[in-house]
Every structure is written in structure tokens, then in C-alpha cells.
């Protein structure tokens, strides 16, 4: 088997952990001349899709995406050394684990890089909940950055 990294997905949620994941992801992408796909997922506010509730309008969704995700991705890209790296930013809406797995599959990623911890306020002793679920569900090699 000749495993190579052509496409690499990094999960970005604005946390320090995901920032470190993006730095390591950028280094790996540079060495492998791989495409770096910086991906952030916004979870719709609770209740938007609640029982009997009308689904959000596309306009409301776009506004939420623009507000929440553009800033997270923009701040990250501003703080990263991406010189000489082919990169792309991807914004998704929904459940972070499900959407990240979909992007990994869609882009035929060879590696998924995430932080051990994320943006949750809850202090978790072990892995974050997204990291935990991803490690159990992904078919793609996963790098968890402390
Ligand atoms: N909404 C998200 N979009 C993209 N990546 C995410 C998202 N949430 C978490 N991740 C990735 O998963 C890592 C671990 O986060 P998570 O498991 O959610 O920890 P916590 O429970 O501390 O928030 C983050 O560092 C990030 O790389
Ligand atoms: Mg989280």
C-alpha cells in the first residue's frame, strides 16, 4: 500500500486546539504538497428545527453562516503561515461530526486533522465530544492534536 497525502481536511472551530491542528495540518500539507481544506461547521441554534417549527429560511441560514463561520475561518487564515500551500476554506451547517465526515468523503481526504479539545465551555477530562465521535466513526486516518 502506498499511502500518500493529496487532500487533507482540518476541522476548525475557533478553539486553540483547532488552531494547533491547523498549524500542524499546514506543515503536513507543505511537506506533501497536499491540498489543505480548512473546514468549519456551524450547528444551527437549538430549536430552529424543533417540533412543529418552520425550517429556517435560506436567508437566515446564510446570515448565520456568514456571521459565525466567516469570522472563525478568516481569523484562522490570518494567523496561519499558508505561504506556498494550496488551501481552501469550506463552511458547512449542521452536526459537526456528520458534516466533517461528509467533507472528508466528498473530498477524498487522505488525512483528517483535529484538535483534542474544542470550543466547548464544558471542561472535559478526555477527548472532546466531536473528537470522540470522529475517532469512532471515521474511515479516514485521523490525527488528534493535543
Ligand atoms: N463545529 C466544528 N467544525 C469543525 N471542526 C470542529 C467543530 N467542532 C469541533 N471540531 C474539531 O474537533 C476538535 C475537538 O473538538 P470537540 O470534540 O468539539 O471538543 P470540545 O468538546 O472541547 O468542544 C476541535 O479542535 C476541532 O478540530
Ligand atoms: Mg466542541
**Which domains does the chain carry?**
8-38+66-87+95-104+127-146 (3.40.50.620)
Question: Is residue 50 predicted with pLDDT exceeding 60?
Answer: no
Q: What is the pLDDT of residue 47?
A: 56
**Which protein residues have their CB within 5 A of the ion that is ligand 2?**
118, 120
Cell of 3: 499511502
pLDDT tens, residue by residue, 89-124: 998 888 899 999 999 999 999 999 999 999 887 766
Q: Are 7 and 108 in contact (CB under 8 A)?
A: yes
In the reported structure, the alpha carbon of residue 22 is separated from the centroid of ligand 2 by a whole-number distance in angstroms of 16
pLDDT category at 43 given cuts 50, 70, 90 is: confident
Cβ(41) – ligand 1 distance below 6 Å: yes
b/e 43-68 (16+ beta carbons within 10 angstroms → b)? ebeeeeeeeeeeebeeeeeeebbeeb
Q: What is the mean pLDDT of residues 125-130?
A: 82
What separation in Å is there between the alpha carbon of 28 and the centre of ligand 2?
Answer: 24
Q: How many C-beta atoms surround the C-beta of residue 125 within 10 A?
A: 4
Residue 57 pLDDT: 73
SS3 123: coil
Average model confidence (pLDDT) across the chain: 88
- Residue 129: CB within 6 Å of ligand 1? yes
Q: Which helix (H) or strand (E) holds 32?
A: helix 16-32
**Residue 9 backbone dihedrals phi, psi, to 5 degrees:** -105, 130
pLDDT over threshold 70, residue 48: no
13 lines ligand 1 (CB under 6 A): yes
Amino acid at each position: 500500500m502506498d499511502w500518500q497525502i493529496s487532500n487533507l481536511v482540518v476541522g476548525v472551530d475557533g478553539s486553540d486546539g483547532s488552531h494547533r491542528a491547523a498549524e500542524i495540518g499546514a506543515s503536513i500539507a507543505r511537506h506533501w504538497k497536499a491540498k489543505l481544506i480548512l473546514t468549519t461547521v456551524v450547528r444551527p441554534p437549538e430549536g430552529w428545527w424543533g417540533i412543529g417549527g418552520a425550517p429556517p429560511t435560506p436567508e437566515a441560514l446564510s446570515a448565520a453562516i456568514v456571521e459565525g463561520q466567516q469570522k472563525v475561518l478568516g481569523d484562522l487564515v490570518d494567523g496561519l503561515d499558508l505561504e506556498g500551500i494550496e488551501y481552501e476554506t469550506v463552511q458547512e451547517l449542521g452536526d459537526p461530526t456528520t458534516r466533517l465526515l461528509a467533507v472528508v468523503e466528498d473530498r477524498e481526504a487522505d488525512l483528517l486533522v483535529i484538535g483534542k479539545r474544542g470550543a466547548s465551555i464544558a471542561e472535559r477530562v478526555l477527548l472532546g465530544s466531536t473528537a470522540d465521535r470522529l475517532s469512532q466513526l471515521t474511515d479516514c486516518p485521523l490525527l488528534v492534536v493535543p
